[in-house]
Amino acid sequence: MRLFRNDALSIELHHAVLHSDREPYVHRFMEKLWHQPIKVETMVGTIMAPQPEVHFTYIVLHMMKHLKEAGFGLRFLLDFKYFAKYHKINHDDQLAFFEAIGYGEFYRSITTLCHYYLGMDVGKVKWLYDPESTVIRILAEYIVEGGSFGNGSERMRIANQYDKYKDAFKKKSKLDVYMELLFPPSSVIIGNYSYVGRYRFLLPIAWIHRLLQKSLSNKKGTKEKFFLFTHDEEFVLKKEYMMNVLRLNSQEVETKNDL
């Protein structure tokens, strides 16, 4: 992904439609993606675009990835609502697809929020959550915490990092995980600091070099890793409950490769 930004607008350019072959739905969706594509004339020639229903499915998959791994803001709900309205999306058909890949609860929850909180017309569907259910209230709170674009508050970003590493915390002490994040082995360091490959005795220098770079970085997620010990326990537990109910539990990660 590349990010283009000016004073008023940020634009993300993704180099791939989906980013992880580990997800079980990837191959099924890719088969669906280019079934009967639409030809669109542009100033520089003809491009191929997916059918609106397939594009909408992609929007929801992208939302799901953000809820699992990054920020999630109000913009996603507005995209969902207005795309569904403009293209007259059949929510029963969409739910059937998401149930088939194991993520029906997520689709139900987002549709529920858009219907009860944003007034989206969903027809006569009977599979919405109760708007007062615990998971819907937590999801609504989480999205509000994320703000317009999902950048969120500090406690949300720290909670996201904690959620990412919680499986590692079950196997190792927090101190061990923290040390692996701060001081990864030479096999990891060499990838970014080639001088370690030539002179292994410079590994401690590379660690210091890396710590200084990361501590000064503005990249989302980097600084939050330094505050994994100070997470908001109640907020983390709420998110964990939400992820379990919606069946969006994060996959286990290798801590040593990811600070």
Q: Residue 68 contacts by C-beta under 8 Å, 6 or more apart in sequence?
A: 243, 248, 250
Structure tokens at 235: 């907020």
How far apart (Å, rounded) are the C-alpha atoms in residues 165 and 198?
32
Identify the burial level of 52 via C-beta atoms within 10 angstroms of its C-beta, where 0-12 means exposed, 13-18 middle and 19 or more buried. middle
Of 9, 26, 8, nearest in space to 17 by CA = 26
pLDDT grade for 253, boundaries at 50, 70 and 90? very low
Contact 89, 81 (CB under 8 A): no
| CA angle centred on 224, ends 66 and 154, rounded to 5° | 75
- Kind of pairing between the strands at 38-42 and 45-49: antiparallel
Sign of CA dihedral 69, 75, 78, 80: negative
Structure tokens at 66: 């953000």
pLDDT in tens, 190-233: 878 888 888 888 888 988 888 887 766 665 555 555 555 666 77
**For the chain, what is the largest distance between any 2 Cα atoms, rounded to a whole number of angstroms?**
68
Q: Look at the pTM and tell me if it is higher than 0.95.
A: no
What angle, 0 to 180 degrees and rounded to 10, lies between the N-to-C axes of helices 74-87 and 104-118?
90
pLDDT in tens, 103-161: 999 999 999 999 999 999 999 999 999 999 999 999 999 999 888 877 777 777 777 77
